[in-house]
Structure 1
Amino acid sequence: MTFKTKLLLITLLPLVAVSLLIGVTTYYQSTELINAQTRAVEERILSAKRQEIRNYVSLALTSIEQIYEHEPGGREAAQAQVKEILEQLTFDYDGYFFAYTLDGTNIVHPKLPQLVGGNWWDLKDENGDYVIRNLIEAARQGGRFHQYVWNKPSTGTVEEKLGYAILLDKWGWMLGTGLYTDDIAREVVAIRADFARSISQTLLVTFMITLAAIVIAGSLIAGVRFSEQRFADSRLKELTNRIFQVQEQERKRVSTELHDSISQLLVSVRYGVEMIHSEAGHTTELQTQAAKCLKTLDGTIAEVRRISRDLRPSILDDIGLAAALISLGKEFQSQSGITVNVSAEQTLSRLSEGAKTALYRVVQECMTNVARHSRATEVSISLTVGDRSLVLSVEDNGIGLPSPLPKTGGLGFRNMRERIETYAGTLTVNRRPSGGTQIKVQMPLDNQTAKAA
């Protein structure tokens, strides 16, 4: 671990630790306070609703008490009159009374008349609660409350409801009513939101103070590290560029030696062997050996020329980048059997020799990768020269790169990127929609040369 990293940790870790400790303590204490407050609010509202429901039931009993006790006109007439009264008794927007026989048959329901006459003993709510069965049981126990979910008439949605049921034992009826409790949830949410805002403000102030200290300390240390890193990066790029230049110079030297020295020596030897072949006369064995030697020398000369061309193609220096790419495509097609289509525009003098070499090496590396890995049958090389920049594209129809695409690639991709970035260019690797791989290079041109042209 470097000294700068140790300094950064010693400076920032205590600040972060104190901030986290304060934040966690504040959060847990506030959470406990919120839970206690919301429980108290819920209990207070539920207690008020229970009392309200009891009052409504008392009013309903008062309304039907005389009819229930004396049954004027007989029981059936009295029950019909009570049903009519209960149908008319409503309160708030969603308050009403309902009645069921003790076997679960509905006899009064002003909001859901389709339930009247049906037996709902086995009716369950969304939570699996036997609503009618449990309300009848609450009524049998002397009048109790029961929580369930039910359709809310004003909204058409299913909400929590606090129900209360009593028993009209003389008629064998369960009489009930209730209030929806979704307003409790809304009030609890509002309370929690108020507390959450207060907690957030407290935590925000704490973290802002800590963050300011962290930013100041981190900025000072990061500034030092960034300047040193930028200096190191620039030196590394210079070193990389110098390595490429030395490498190209050495390749050019070796290529020249092979072409001008070794190749010429082999050609001279070939002339001598040709003379032996022609002077052999009727000596069949000597002619055969001379012919084999000639064949071997032809192959050796061709191989030396290929190596010389791969190391540093003379056509790149003599004619230009476009001609060198066309030559490279033809050579690759003849060696690999893969069809190569080359479309290259002349760059004239708008590229430095180093930039031309970098572009050529990128295409050379791409063709090597195609031959080794792509299983392609066709490759397209395109060099388009614009007003301010050029675009080089190498595409194949092979199996493509793995998914997901590698972020940095292998050594070959890194070398290609470093070569192009040396001349302010960019290199991207993409997967073609139709299959295969596309390597695209964008590089700026020499604007002063362009203006002169």
Structure 2
Amino acid sequence: MAWQPSLFWKVFLTNGVVFVVGTLTLVLSPASVSRQPLLSEVLVLTVGLGLMLLADAVFLRRSLTPVDRVVAQMATVELLKPGHRLAEPSGGPGAQLVRGYNAMLDRLEAERSASNAQALAAQEAERHRIAQELHDQVGQSLTVVLLGLKQVQAQAPPELAEELGLVRESVRAGLDDIRRVARELRPGVLEDLGLHSALAALASDFSAHSGTHVRRTVARGLPALSPQAELVVYRVAQEALTNVARHADAQQVTLSLTRLGDRVVLEVSDDGRGTDGSHPGTGLLGMRERALLVGGEVTVTGGPGLGTTVRLAVPVPS
């Protein structure tokens, strides 16, 4: 295999060649320098020095410009926005550097995607386990308590019956909350009835518990998505509505699912206080990581007092 000189040796040898040529020119050519240099001699030296510097600058610029490009890209690259690669030069050590940098980004993005997929799969499995425990254990236990309270209330004296009724209502409310949490953890309606029904149920639950009206728009004839993509769409809508309930102080929310070109687009908009988007929270980062698993992208727009719009674009299967 032929020896490939490093960048150091290329710069060193080029400077050496330039200086050797300059030295040989002074030694072998009629040009000379007097003790008291004449104007013509100063002119010759100036021109020679300028040519040496020019040749050195041309080579260094060609060799080191890719280094500057890599340094600038490293300061701005975002793994949550993959696909940005540097154009490779035609040759030289700069091309090797850019090629190695692009390969490094490929490996990092692949490893991050794999680790995110494993983490989110484990998270979904844990959600399902907790939802099952809530439904089978806690829910059934509270149901038994309700039945027992009903029997006790029927046999209790009148002065205690009213208080027992209040306790029953509290237990019933707690049971309803547990069932709601279980549905949020494990969206059975998504598995049984599909994405459209799951989004409708999600919006209805949100309106019932937050008091904020949700206007739903689902386009007809949307292409079928993979089960993983449907789960991503549902979770992003769920997280967006949760953020509205916690932070937006909105009066109206719009949830839409449409098709735009080769993508299915989910939008959740509100007329709340808005955000400047300068400090994305863990919820937004989680949405972006989920979207990357199915080749999608999440963007957040809005501003203080202008509301917020969360937009998820998922590619349509070919």
TM over 0.5: same fold? yes
Contact conserved, 1:381 with 1:393, CA < 8 A, in 2? yes
Write the distance in 1 (CA, Å) between the matches of 2:246 and 2:51.
Answer: 61
State the alpha-carbon separation in 2 of the partners of residues 201 and 327 from structure 1: 76
Rounded Cα–Cα distance in structure 2 between residues aligned with 1:201 and 1:378: 71
Residue correspondence of structure 1 range 338-377 to structure 2 within 5 A: 338-345=212-219, 350-377=224-251
Q: 2:193 aligns with which of 299, 305, 319?
A: 319
Change (3 A) 1:389 1:221: closer
- Corresponding letter in the other structure for 1:437: T
Give secondary structure in 2 for the equivalent of 1:220: helix
Between the aligned partners of 1:348 and 1:338, the Cα distance in structure 2 is 27
Q: RMSD between aligned alpha carbons?
A: 3.2
Q: Match of 2:271?
A: 397
In 2: Cα distance, 1:387 partner to 1:244 partner: 28
Where do 1:18-57 residues align within 5 Å?
none
Structure 2 CA distance for aligned equivalents of residues 330 and 434 of structure 1: 26
Q: After the TM superposition, which residues 266-415 of structure 1 pair with which residues of structure 2 at under 5 Å, given as runs?
A: 266-280=142-156, 283-345=157-219, 350-385=224-259, 388-402=262-276, 405-406=277-278, 409-415=280-286
Once the two structures are superposed, residues 351-382 of structure 1 have per-residue CA deviations (whole angstroms, 9 ceiling, x without a partner) of 22221111111111111222222232111000
Matches of 2:113 and 2:182 in 1, distance apart?
28
Using the TM superposition, give the Cα deviation of residue 247 of structure 1 relative to its aligned residue in structure 2, in angstroms.
0.5
One-letter amino acid of the counterpart of residue 287, structure 1: A
Unmatched 5+ residue regions in structure 2? Answer: 1-5, 19-48, 67-91
| Aligned residues of 2:268 and 2:309 also touching (Cα < 8 A) | yes
Residue of structure 1 equivalent to 2:315: 444
Match of 2:132 among 253, 256, 280: 256
Specify the code of the residue in structure 2 equivalent to 1:249: A
**Paired letter, 2:105:** Q
Conserved 8 A contact 1:320-1:348:
no
- Please tell me the residue identity of whatever aligns with 2:188: S
Contact 2:222 2:259 in 1 (8 A): no
Match of 2:61, SS?
A: helix
Q: Secondary structure of 1:275's match?
A: helix
Tell me how far 1:241 sits from its aligned partner.
1.1
What is the identity percentage for the equivalent residue pairs of Structure 1 and Structure 2? 30
Alpha-carbon distance between aligned partners in 2 of 1:13 and 1:262, rounded to the nearest angstrom:
72
- Say if 1:345 and 1:401 are closer, same or farther in 2 by CA, change over 3 A: same
Q: Deviation at 1:213? A: 3.2
Question: What runs of 5+ residues in structure 1 fail to find an aligned partner?
Answer: 1-9, 23-198, 448-453
What do residues 280-317 of structure 1 show as CA deviations (whole Å, max 9, x unaligned)? 3xx12442343233122112101111211221222111
Higher relative contact order (CA 8 A, sep 6+): 2
Q: Residue 255 of structure 2: SS of its match in structure 1?
A: strand
Q: Call closer, same or farther: CA 1:336–1:428 in 2, change over 3 Å.
A: same
Question: 1:200: how far off?
Answer: 10
Amino acid at match of 1:372: R
- Identify the residue that residue 96 of structure 1 maps to in structure 2: none
Alpha-carbon contact 2:206-2:241 (below 8 Å) kept: yes
CA deviation digits over 1:401-441, x for unaligned, max 9?
22xx53x7222222111111110112222227992222211
Q: What does residue 54 of structure 1 align with?
A: none
- Alignment correspondent of 1:60: none
- The 8 Å contact of residues 384 and 391 in structure 1, kept in 2 or not, is answered as yes
Question: Which residue of 2 is the match for residue 73 of structure 1?
Answer: none
CA contact (8 A) 1:382 1:394 kept: yes
- Post-superposition shift, 1:15? 5.0
Question: Per the alignment, do residues 333 and 15 of structure 1 end up closer, same or farther by CA in structure 2, a change over 3 Å counting?
Answer: farther
Partner of 2:97: 221
TM-score, normalization: structure 2?
0.70
Within 5 Å, give how 1:38-117 maps onto structure 2: none
Distance change >3 Å, CA 309–CA 221, structure 1 → 2: same
Q: Secondary structure at the match of 1:250?
A: helix
User: How many residues end up aligned between the 2 structures?
Assistant: 254
Q: Is the 8 A contact 1:346 1:385 kept in 2?
A: no
Are residues 1:426 and 2:302 paired?
A: no
**2-side partners of 1:213 and 1:290: how far apart?**
84
What is the letter of the counterpart of residue 410 of structure 1?
G
TM-score of the aligned structures, taking structure 1 as reference length: 0.50
Query: 2-side partners of 1:275 and 1:206: how far apart?
Result: 97
Larger C-alpha radius of gyration, 1 or 2?
Answer: 1
2:254 maps to amino acid? S
CA separation of 1:348/1:400 partners in 2, compared to 1, >3 Å: closer, same or farther? closer
Distance in 2 separating the partners of 1:258 and 1:412? 24
* Correspondence 1:241 to 2:117: yes
CA distance in 2, matches of 1:369, 1:201: 64
1:114-263 alignment, distance < 5 Å: 205-214=55-64, 215=66, 216-263=92-139
The aligned counterpart of 1:181 is: none
